[in-house]
Amino acid sequence: MKKWLIPLIILVVIAFGIYQWAVGFNNTAVELEANAKTAWSNVESAYQRRNDLIGNLVKTVQGAADFERGTLKDVIEARSKATNTTIDANNITPEKLAAFQEAQTGLSSALSRLLVTVERYPDLKANRNFLELQSQLEGTENRINVERNRFNETVNLYDIHTTKFPGKILAGWFGFEEMPRYKSDPGSENAPDVNFEFD
């Protein structure tokens, strides 16, 4: 056997091992990235359900002739903004995620004001359709929270895989970038100030 053949075989074995490692890294990263994109789609789906329910809620509330139009208008405008603020799952950036979150927070705030205002309308509070929609909205808010948490979990797995050494080197070569997570609303880390006033 020729002496040059042994080093060549060793080089071929090493090159094949590196190739296998790179392919394995890439395939796992692709799978984890796809899982994160699917999780984001589930977040958007949960928000879409909320937007649909709010549309039905607005129609029900509009039936109350003397209901405060300003409050209703705020909800309609916030819903429109939230519906128009979307993110392509292939291009989730921290800035786009922040804009999406800001629009959804605006809608949540307007909806809260609407539900507080409804307290002054006993007929509306007793409306079966309104009560059912309100109940569905509460359940949907829970779904949204679950889906956001699942999204963060899948992004975490992807980010760990693509940022740990030596995978980080391959991630740069293959174009895998760190994905942003869904964060809590600014100020939500502070306890709310609750005042109970008694007559």
Rg (CA), the chain: 25
* Mean residue pLDDT across the chain: 86
Whether 108 contacts 35, CB under 8 Å: no
Whether 176 contacts 160, CB under 8 Å: no
pLDDT tens, residue by residue, 155-186 = 999 999 999 988 898 888 889 999 999 887 66
Whether 174 contacts 26, CB under 8 Å: yes
Which two three-digit tokens encode residue 102? 């800001």
Whether 144 contacts 108, CB under 8 Å: no
Domain spanning 7-155 has what CATH number?
Answer: 1.20.1440.20
Whether 163 contacts 171, CB under 8 Å: yes
pLDDT tens, residue by residue, 54-106 = 988 888 887 765 667 788 888 989 999 999 988 888 888 889 999 999 999 99
Q: What is the DSSP letter of 180?
A: P
**In this predicted structure, what is the pLDDT of residue 48?**
93
**In this predicted structure, what is the pLDDT of residue 16?**
92
pTM: 0.80
| Domain definitions of the chain by residue range | 7-155
Nearest to 85 by CA among 64, 102, 61: 102
Alpha-carbon distance 60 to 54, whole Å?
10
